[in-house]
Each structure stands twice: as structure tokens, then as C-alpha cells.
Structure 1
Amino acid sequence: MYTIVIIWDSNNAEVTQWEEAPMVITWKDREISLRAGPRERVDQNGVTSKVAVYLPDELTEEEFQELFALHEKNVPELHLHA
């Protein structure tokens, strides 16, 4: 099981669980692609999970970096270095 973080824009991100982490998938009628991970994450309780981050295909790598940094503050699953 993978923890999936989908960053839609500067105001919207969601966390869900998937059995796989495909390179590209259509989710909620939009094509999104894998931008980071899957990476292993250990939370503050010592629980290990695999996290993958997705963004809509139309967003650039620079936009990904900015949005990741913006959402990292509020989405614990993005704390990949924990």
C-alpha cells in the first residue's frame, strides 16, 4: 500500500492510499503523473510507509518544487526526511 499525495495547486492537496504507484494515472478526471517517490517515510511513531507525490501533468518541475515546499508545512506525509 502506498500513501499518495496529490498536489493540485497552491490551495489544494489530498492524501489517499493506493495499491500501486503508477507513473501516470487519470484521477478525478485529470491526468496526473508521479513527481516524487515512492520514498520510504518513518513518522514520529516509527511507522514506515511508502509515499509518492503526484501533480497534474500541465505543471512544470519548477511549479512542482514551489508547491511541494508550500504544502510540506501542512501535509505531514510530505515530511520525507523525518
Structure 2
Amino acid sequence: MYTIVVLWDNDNAEVTQWEDAPMVTTWKDREISLRAGPRERVDEHGTVSQVAVYLPDELNEEEFQELFAVHEKQVPELHLHG
């Protein structure tokens, strides 16, 4: 099971669970692609999970970096180095 983080825009991010982490998929009627991960994450309780981050296909790498920075403070699953 993978923890999936979808960064939609500056105001919207979604965390869900999927059985796999495909390179490209359709989610909520939008094409999204894998931009980071899957990477191992250990939370504050010692629970290990695989986290993958997705972004709508129309957004580029610079926009991904900006959205990641915006959401990293509010979405604990993005703390991939923890």
C-alpha cells in the first residue's frame, strides 16, 4: 500500500492510499503523474510507509517544486526525510 499525495494547486492537496504507484494515471477526471517517490517515510510513531507525490500533468517541474514547498508545512506525509 502506498500513501499518495496529490498536489492540485496552492490551496489544495489530497492524501490517499493506493495499491500501487503508477507513473501516470487519471484521478478525479484529471491526468496526474508521479513527480516524487515512492520514498520511505518513518512517522513520529515509527510507522514506515511508502510515499509518492503526484501533480496534474499540465504543471511543470518548477510548479511542482513551488507546490511542494507550499504544502510541505501542512502535509506531514511530505516530510520525506523524517
Q: TM-score range by the shorter chain?
A: over 0.9
Correspondence for 2:45: 45
How far 1:73 moved relative to its partner?
0.2
Runs of 4+ in 1 over 6 A off after TM superposition: none
String of CA shifts for 1:25-48, please: whole Å, max 9, x gaps.
Answer: 000000000000000000000000
Normalising by structure 1, what TM-score? 0.99
- Please give the alpha-carbon distance, in whole angstroms, between the structure 1 residues aligned to 2:73 and 2:79: 8
**Could you say what secondary structure the match of 1:70 adopts?**
helix
TM-score, normalised with respect to structure 2: 0.99
Unaligned segments of structure 2, at least 5 residues: none
The match for 2:21 is 21
Which SS does the other structure have where 1:46 is aligned?
A: coil
CA RMSD across the alignment: 0.2
Q: Which residue of 2 aligns with 1:72?
A: 72
Supply the distance in 2 between the matched residues of 1:27 and 1:12 (Cα, whole angstroms).
14
Q: CA deviation at 1:69?
A: 0.5
**Structure 1 unaligned spans of 5+:** none
User: Which residue of structure 2 aligns with residue 4 of structure 1?
Assistant: 4
